[in-house]
Structure formats: C-alpha cells, structure tokens
Structure 1
Amino acid sequence: MAQELVQLAPGSKVERWTIEKKLGEGAFGAVYRCSDKTGQYALKVEGVNEPIQLLKMEVFVLTELSKAGGRHFCKIEDKGRFENFFYVVMTFVGKSLQDLRLVAPGKKFSPATAIAVGIQCLEALEDLHGIGYLHRDVKPANYTIGRPEIKEVRKVYVLDFGMARKFVHEDGTIKKPRNVAGFRGTVKYAPVACHAQREMCRLDDLETWLYMQVELTKGSLPWRNLKDMNEIGRFKKSCRFDLPMKQLFGGCPREYIDILRVIDGGKFFDEPDYPKIYNLLRQAMKNLGCSEHDKYDWERWDEDRKKWEEEKKKREEEEKKKAEAAGKDGAKPADANNNEKKEEKKDDKKDEKKDDKKDEKKDEKKDEKKEEKKEEKKEEKKDKKEEEKTGAAADDKKDKKEEEKARLTWAG
C-alpha cells in the first residue's frame, strides 16, 4: 500500500533547490518545477517508506545512459535524501507527445511529423536496450519535446523508467524468461506478450512503440473503446490478419505493416533489426514527399500564432488610425488638440494684426472724415457770411428805394 504522497509548497527549499510549481503526480511520487541560480529543472520526490522504490531505478538507468552517451534522455543534476523523502533533480523538459497530439487537428500529427518523431522515439529505445534495459511502458505521455526557451523543440526525450527492467546478466548474456511475469505497462499500448502475462523482450518494446506510432499518425487505435484488457489483447493479436490489420493500419503508410512483420519475425533472444525499421520509416517519408528536416507541426503552429498576433496588432493600429481620422470632426487625441490649439493661436495673432491694421485704417479714415467735415463747416460758414453780406446789400438797396419813394410822396 502506497504511503501518503510527499507534498512540497511553492517557495519551499530542498537543499539549494527552490520549489516553484507542482507539475504532476503518480502512484508513488510527485514531480515539481524547481530552480536555482543556474536555471529551471524538474524535481522528482518519493517517500522513503514507499514499498516500491521507483526513483532508485530511474536514477540508476539515467546514470548508465549518461555514461553511454544516450541521445534522448534527461541529465541528472542532483540526487539524495531530504527529510522523509528521496529526490532527484533533472533536465526540465517541454510538452509531452500526448499533450501535443491532443491539441493537433484531428488529434494526430502530419505524416512528416509523426514519422520524424517516431524515428527519435525508436532511437531512444535502441539506446536504452544498448545498456541492457527494457522500458516496458512506452506511450506518448512518456515522450516529450525540449523547451522552446532553449531551442529544443525538435529534440525528443523519453521519460519515466520506473517500470524498466534489466534483461541481461552482468556478463551481458540475456536472462531467460520467467514462467509468469505479470502485466506491466499501459493496457492501450501494451504488447500481446504482456496481455498473455509473458516475459517481455526488446521486440515487445518495439511493438508498443508501433502502436504509439499508429496513434500519432492517424489519431486513434481501433480498440480505444474496449474496456476489457483480455478483449483488447485478443484484438491486438488479430491485427496480424487481413481485416483487423486494415482497421489498425488504415490511414497509415503501408511501411507500418512491413515494420510489424519485422517485429513479429524476431524471437525472444533476438536483437531487433533497428536499421531495417529506420529504412522503412525513411522510405515512407520519401514516398510521401517529406523529410526529417521538415518543420514539426508545433513549429508551424508557433509560426502561425506569431503571424496571427502580428496581423492582430496591424489591425489594431489601422483601427486606431481610423479612430484618429474620424476624431478630427469630434473628440481628438490630446496631441492633435495641442497642435491644433497652437495653430489656432497663431491664426488668432495673425487675425489680431490684421484687425489692428484695419482699425488703423478706419481711424485714419475717420480722421479724414472729421477734417472733411470741419472743412465743410468752414465752407458753410463762409457761404453763410457771403449770403448774409449779399442779403444785407440787397436789403439796403430796397430800403433806399423805399425811403426815396416815401420822400417823394411827402414832398408832393
């Protein structure tokens, strides 16, 4: 019975490692993201009293792989015991193939990506077998890509060696199979031998890999809706024949069928024909007109996302310009208003100067009119005087005539 899982709070310390976030947990332990001054890493923990010590096997396998120069494995940065648990600090990786598949259109990769990634997954198994170990739990969730920040999105890592088993003795000879080995792995991907409770060999790891490969390529396996593990085992066994084989490999390159025949053609003690399988995978790519150097789906998704973000930014800028243009007749941005106010002030000053000049001219005209009026009045006065003089002279003449007439009258 499993003990209570070790729980670490964000911000807590395990030796020099600061816990940042819990990434996941299994039956016997948990995985956290941690960091020190050199960067971010993954930290796995397992209670010291767990009945099955999976972490020990993981550390041993990764150490051996590091010595052998394994191509697709995490590097151990630190390991030890802290309080009531064992821990191991290793490379912090990116998303799993399972997570990537589930967000892909149709929940499957493009043929080019599926096959190119499949080659890397097979290389990882070949390296693991090379140090004398079987994985026994091959599935998309146990393969990841590297982190984008360190430009490793094209590199595939294999994880989780808790179920690994050494299949060779110290002298390098292969161990004889046990009569009953029990079930190991995940039912969906497990090989036929596992369903039959038989000892697994290297070819069984490859059979599991091929089922995973089919799912990455077409998005599903034909037994996905079956619940009974024995029924699933019978279905897998029947896939060596006509109709079930079509159900399994329909929508996949025909070379997958040839790969199954290569796997089934080997015996328990035989070394798998890795070169032949690689050749078949590369032949499939050639027939499809693609290559291992093509961009992986998630690289294209990232480019599409960046392109979409750029287009969105461009649209927002265009809308802003339209709003500014439309705002000329209404509310306008502060900068535009300030500029316009400055221009208005300049115009006002110009108008003021013009008005001043006009006023000056008006004043000049007024003065001229005043002078004219003065002159007119002078003229009028002069005229009146002249008139008065003329009138007085006339009156004098009239009076003289009247006086003369009166004298004559009195005289007579």
Structure 2
Amino acid sequence: MTEKVERDRLPKQNDEIVTENGRKYKLGRALGDGGYGVVFISEFDNCEIAVKTEKFSKSQLKVEIEVLRAAQQMGCKHFCSLIDCGTKGKDFDYLIMTLLGKDLHKMRCELEDKKFSMSTAIRAGIQTIKACEELHRIGFISRDVKPGNFAPGVKQNRQNRIIFMFDFGLSRKYVDQNNNLIPNRKEVGWRGTTRYGSLDAHKRLDLARKDDIESWFYGLVEMTKGTLPWRNVTNRTNVQKAKELARTTTRVQFLFETPPQYDKILTMIDAYTFESTPEYSKIIKLLNEVKEAAAIRDKEAWDWEDESKSTTVNTVSSFSDKQNRASKEKATK
C-alpha cells in the first residue's frame, strides 16, 4: 500500500519558513488562528513582523497579496507593507507583512463602557473611510468592512498614529483591466459579516463601493455609541429588518447620542446606486465638522493608549471570528 501524503499542514511555533529568495523567518507565538490559518509573530531586520499562513486548499491569500501589491504601488497610507509571500508545496500559503496592534473591535470591547470617546471615534472614522477610499482607488472592494478589520500600527514602526485596513479574503476587483466598472451580476449570495453587512448584502445582491461605505457607517455608529440595535440578533433576516427600520421608525433610536452629521451621512449612503462613486471627501468634511465643534485635535491620545502602557501586539487578523472565516471558503469570486 502506498502511504497517504498529508497535505494542508499549517506550520507551528518555532518552525522556520525559508522563502524562494533564501530569507529565513522563524515563527514565534501565534497572534491569531482559525480553521484555515494561523498568524505568527516573527522578526525581520531586527523588527517584529507578522506571518499570515493559510491552508493551501482553502487559502484566500492570493487575493490579499494582490491587494497589498496594488496598494504598495499606489503609495497607499492605510495598508501594511508586503514584505514577502509564497507557497510551501501544497501545505500552506504565506504572507509576510508589517505588524499591527489589536483591532478596533477588540480595543473597544476592552473599554469599561464598550465605546470610544468622541475624539477617538471620529478620528478613527476619518482614517477608516480614507482606507476604504484607497482600496476603491486601486480597483478593489472589501465586501467585509468592519472595525475588526482595522488596527493601528505599532510604535516600533512609528505607525501607532495610523489606522490600517487588513484581511482582504473577501475582496474582489470591481473594475476590469481597462478600469471600467464590472457590470452588476445581480444575485450572487451572501458576503461579509452579518452585523455590518449592507442591505444589498442581505438581499444576496452583487456588492459595490457603496456597500463598503454602508458597512463602514455601521462600524462608525458602533464605535461612537458602543452598540448597534441588532447587536444581539442572530437571525440574518431579523438583522436585515432591524437595518431597514433604522432608516424609518427606529432612526432616532439608531442615531441616538451621535452627532447630527451622522444622519446626513446615512442619507447620502442610502442615495447611492451600484454605479455610484461614494462622496468620500463630503463624508470626511462632515466628520471634520464634528471634530471642529468638539475641539478635537489630531494628536490627542487614542483611548487604548490611555488604557495601557503596554506595546504588546495581539493580532493582525480577524481569524478569531471563526463563523466569518467559514464564510470565506467559497468567496473567491
């Protein structure tokens, strides 16, 4: 009998990845893990870096690598630097990139009242929509915009003032090679995370730039208030109904204790069509109005910097959201 060859083996702590150009990366502790992959800490040029690995047969890293390469070429500010990448046989794909801190979702949940101060929420909101704009500028949509996919850089890289976007496993190109909009494919199935999914995502429709901005807005409200009306609703249809009501009968409750500019932003988002180019600068201008009214300064400390003096890095991936990871298995197109 021939011995069955094991495939799809993920590396473990203390393993070493040797790249095609001969660079060696010894894997330190795991920063995050899920069914299909593990993110490790490693070291390169005396700096800590992140090594993201995914099982060969389930890997979405090719999409992520394409996004990071395009972002690097365009000089995008809110994306990690792609240091190296490759495949180890038919075991796993790997992506080596700059390290990030804890994601915005985790850091908000660690706060006593589970919400950011207005200063942190508004400044994080401005940086995260700028990240969405950069992603769209390089020809991709995320289809999974949420606070858990944004994180500040680390102090050792002097990037702790910058919020980065990461985890592009559900991303796809929305323009063709001639930079023309790819036509609407109508019904394509669910994409994203239930809490932050757009109304069109709930209808299983093809997603566009506007859907990323709608998801971003739900995250902005959550960071500001500490909760969303459908936070504890598990049934996806009921979440959709709650989002629809948030436009009408429960709109006041939905936007309670948020700046009046949020209402204007929601009205703008709901007016967009599949083909629309979101008015990023107009949205940022509204958020800057909030900043000015509250005398918020850009150099103020983030809430998480007040909470801890530690520079310990916890994650660069939303792998801990196993349910969402499972949704990525068939989402390469």
Tell me the TM-score range normalised by the shorter chain: 0.7 to 0.9
Residues 210-249 of structure 1 aligned to structure 2 (within 5 Å): 210-241=217-248, 243-249=249-255
Alignment partner of 1:76 out of 68, 75, 82: 82
Normalising by structure 1, what TM-score? Answer: 0.70
Cα deviation, residue 155, structure 1: 1.0
CA contact (8 A) 1:108 1:215 kept: yes
Cα deviation, residue 299, structure 1: 2.7
Structure 2 residue aligned with 1:44: 52
Between the aligned partners of 1:116 and 1:148, the Cα distance in structure 2 is 18
Alignment partner of 2:70 out of 25, 42, 64: 64
Between the aligned partners of 2:87 and 2:203, the Cα distance in structure 1 is 39
Between the aligned partners of 1:154 and 1:60, the Cα distance in structure 2 is 25
Alignment partner of 2:34 out of 1, 8, 26: 26
Structure 2 residue aligned with 1:335: none
CA contact (8 A) 2:190 2:201 kept: yes
Normalising by structure 2, what TM-score? Answer: 0.86
Is residue 250 of structure 1 aligned with residue 256 of structure 2?
Answer: yes
- The letter of the residue matching 1:23 is L
Alignment partner of 2:300 out of 273, 294, 297: 294
Between the aligned partners of 1:6 and 1:153, the Cα distance in structure 2 is 34
Structure 2 residue aligned with 1:391: none
Q: Aligned residues, how many?
A: 299
Could you list the runs of 5+ residues in structure 2 that have no partner in the other structure? 1-5, 19-23, 311-333
Is residue 9 of structure 1 aligned with residue 12 of structure 2?
Answer: yes
CA contact (8 A) 2:8 2:56 kept: no
Moved over 6 A (4+): none
Percent identical pairs in the alignment equals: 33
CA contact (8 A) 1:6 1:45 kept: no
Cα deviation, residue 4, structure 1: 7.7
Cα deviation, residue 105, structure 1: 2.7
The structure showing larger relative contact order (alpha-carbon pairs under 8 Å, at least 6 residues apart) is: 2
CA contact (8 A) 1:6 1:46 kept: no
Is residue 204 of structure 1 aligned with residue 207 of structure 2?
Answer: no
Alignment partner of 2:137 out of 130, 144, 148: 130
Between the aligned partners of 2:210 and 2:181, the Cα distance in structure 1 is 13
- The letter of the residue matching 1:234 is K
Between the aligned partners of 1:244 and 1:12, the Cα distance in structure 2 is 53
Structure 2 residue aligned with 1:371: none
Cα deviation, residue 9, structure 1: 2.7
Deviation larger for 121-130 or 164-173: 164-173
> Residue 151 of structure 2: SS of its match in structure 1?
strand
CA contact (8 A) 1:46 1:85 kept: yes
Is residue 161 of structure 1 aligned with residue 168 of structure 2?
Answer: yes
- The letter of the residue matching 1:14 is I
- The letter of the residue matching 1:198 is L
Structure 2 residue aligned with 1:277: 283
Structure 1 or 2, whichever has the larger Rg, is 1
Between the aligned partners of 1:56 and 1:247, the Cα distance in structure 2 is 42
- The letter of the residue matching 1:293 is K
Between the aligned partners of 1:5 and 1:206, the Cα distance in structure 2 is 35
More helix by share: 1
Structure 1 residue aligned with 2:329: none
Aligned CA-pair RMSD:
1.7
**Structure 1 pair 302/29, CA: closer, same or farther in 2 (3 Å)?**
closer
